[in-house]
Amino acid sequence: MKTALITGASDGIGEQAATALAEQGWQVAVIGRNKERTAAVAKRLHAPYYLADFAKLGEVKALGLQLKRDFPRIDVLANNAGGMFKKQPLTEDGYEMSFQVNHLAHFLLTKILLTNLIESKAKVISTSSVAHKTIGLLFKLDDVKNPKHFSQHLAYGNAKLANILFTRELHRRYHAQGISAAAFHPGVVATSFAKDTTSFMRVLYHTSLRRAPGVITAQDGARTLIWLAQNAPGLTWQAGGYYAKEAPARCTRKAKNAALAQGLWEMSETLVAPFLDEERHPS
Ligand SMILES: NC(=O)c1ccc[n+]([C@@H]2O[C@H](COP(=O)([O-])OP(=O)(O)OC[C@H]3O[C@@H](n4cnc5c(N)ncnc54)[C@H](OP(=O)(O)O)[C@@H]3O)[C@@H](O)[C@H]2O)c1
């Protein structure tokens, strides 16, 4: 039986991907933040559930250590939780919310699970966004974790660019050891996205506009994630790449910048180091 660990599986795209894979006989771990929603999805899928608030790296560490014990074999890690967040205080760890929830928490989770992922020859799939092209253009390594001038759109675009840079560097470092990484854009998907923002996107996603042409259902938004999970890297898709609509997609030059990807990885390693002290990882 194949195993998929899916973050953000309590709602939206993650919930639909978890449902589809569970229906196809996969063992799915439903990972969420909201206990009621997460437990309800898990109950429906007869799957175990795990809770962590990714705005708290201590909770992410505890989640990672538990998953590492419970799943020696992992076929797919879907780093999917996230979204756009309005201006608010830095997280208790001292970072901008979008950067931490979309990128840094998943970086830590992946690092903690690394040995299991390598031994399982796992796929690590990150839910990015076309937003990396439109509103992720001002990404600056020095500024991204705690920006001087906050904008919810810029922070989101930067975080989704970080998802692609993470994928590229994970591929460069660990593909030879067995990990196949991919990032994807799910489409414009009618989910709970942007519900707590003051962005125009809240209007798009939470009024009758969500039924406008071009806005797809969560079920359809999960398709590329499911396709990446089910199909073989090297045959159907190439590891290290960026996808949309179940096919390779174009990303920006910045998203292909190897030095930036390496810089983000090294910075992220420094930021999560306090949460990795008891762990030993392949370098
Ligand atoms: N919808 C779109 O059009 C669109 C487009 C491009 C990319 N994306 C990306 O797709 C992914 C899934 O979003 P969605 O559209 O399915 O939105 P959604 O329905 O709002 O689902 C978001 C998921 O992320 C989880 N999450 C949010 N904040 C969290 C935190 N602090 N700690 C742990 N989990 C947290 C939520 O958990 P709880 O419900 O348990 O709080 C939920 O399961 C996100 O990465 C988003 O950026 C979405």
CATH of the domain at 52: 3.40.50.720
Please determine, for residue 190, whether its predicted confidence score (pLDDT) is greater than 80: yes
Ligand 1, residues 19, 33, 130: which to mutate, most atoms within 8 A of Cβ?
33
**Residue range 181-199: mean pLDDT, rounded:** 89
**Sign of the CA dihedral running 117, 14, 150, 158:** positive
**Residue range 47-73: mean pLDDT, rounded:** 98
Ligand 1 pocket, residue 12 CB under 6 Å:
yes
**DSSP at 138:** T
**Residue range 8-24: mean pLDDT, rounded:** 98
Cα of 234 from ligand 1 centre, angstroms: 29
Ligand 1 pocket, residue 126 CB under 6 Å:
no
Would 213 be classed as within a structural domain? Answer: no
Ligand 1 pocket, residue 183 CB under 6 Å:
no
**Residue range 239-258: mean pLDDT, rounded:** 97
Would 258 be classed as within a structural domain? Answer: yes
Ligand 1 pocket, residue 6 CB under 6 Å:
no
The three-state secondary structure class of 248 is strand
Would 204 be classed as within a structural domain? Answer: no
Would 259 be classed as within a structural domain? Answer: yes
Please determine, for residue 9, whether its predicted confidence score (pLDDT) is greater than 60: yes
Please determine, for residue 87, whether its predicted confidence score (pLDDT) is greater than 90: no
Whether the CB-CB separation of 157 and 132 falls below 8 Å is answered with: yes
User: How far apart are alpha carbons 84 and 281 in whole angstroms?
Assistant: 31
Would 207 be classed as within a structural domain? Answer: no
Would you call 156 a catalytic residue per the annotation? yes
Which of ligand 1's atoms lies nearest the C-alpha of 8?
A: 43
**Residue range 48-63: mean pLDDT, rounded:** 98
Ligand 1 pocket, residue 188 CB under 6 Å:
yes
Residue 29 lies in domain:
3-188+218-275
Number of domains the chain is built from: 1
**Residue range 120-137: mean pLDDT, rounded:** 90
Ligand 1 pocket, residue 210 CB under 6 Å:
no
Which of ligand 1's atoms lies nearest the C-alpha of 10?
A: 43
Residue 278, pLDDT score: 58
Q: Which of 91-100, 208-217, 265-274 has the lowest mean pLDDT?
A: 208-217
Confidence category of residue 211, pLDDT binned at 50, 70, 90? confident
Residue 280, pLDDT score: 55
Please determine, for residue 32, whether its predicted confidence score (pLDDT) is greater than 90: yes
Would 210 be classed as within a structural domain? Answer: no
Q: Which two tokens stand for residue 228?
A: 């990446």
> At residue 169, what is the residue type?
E
Confidence category of residue 195, pLDDT binned at 50, 70, 90? confident
Q: Give the predicted TM-score (pTM) of the model.
A: 0.96
Would 280 be classed as within a structural domain? Answer: no
Would 281 be classed as within a structural domain? Answer: no
Contacts of 282 by beta carbon, 8 Å cutoff, 6+ apart: 114, 115, 118, 174, 177
User: How far apart are alpha carbons 136 and 139 in whole angstroms?
Assistant: 6
Which of ligand 1's atoms lies nearest the C-alpha of 34?
A: 40
Cα of 115 from ligand 1 centre, angstroms: 26
Residue 282, pLDDT score: 56
Residue of 95, 156, 174, 205 with catalytic role: 156
Q: For the residues of 151-171, what is the DSSP string, one character each?
A: -HHHHHHHHHHHHHHHHHHHH
Cα of 83 from ligand 1 centre, angstroms: 5
Residue 281, pLDDT score: 55
Count the Cβ atoms, other than its own, within 10 Å of residue 45. 20
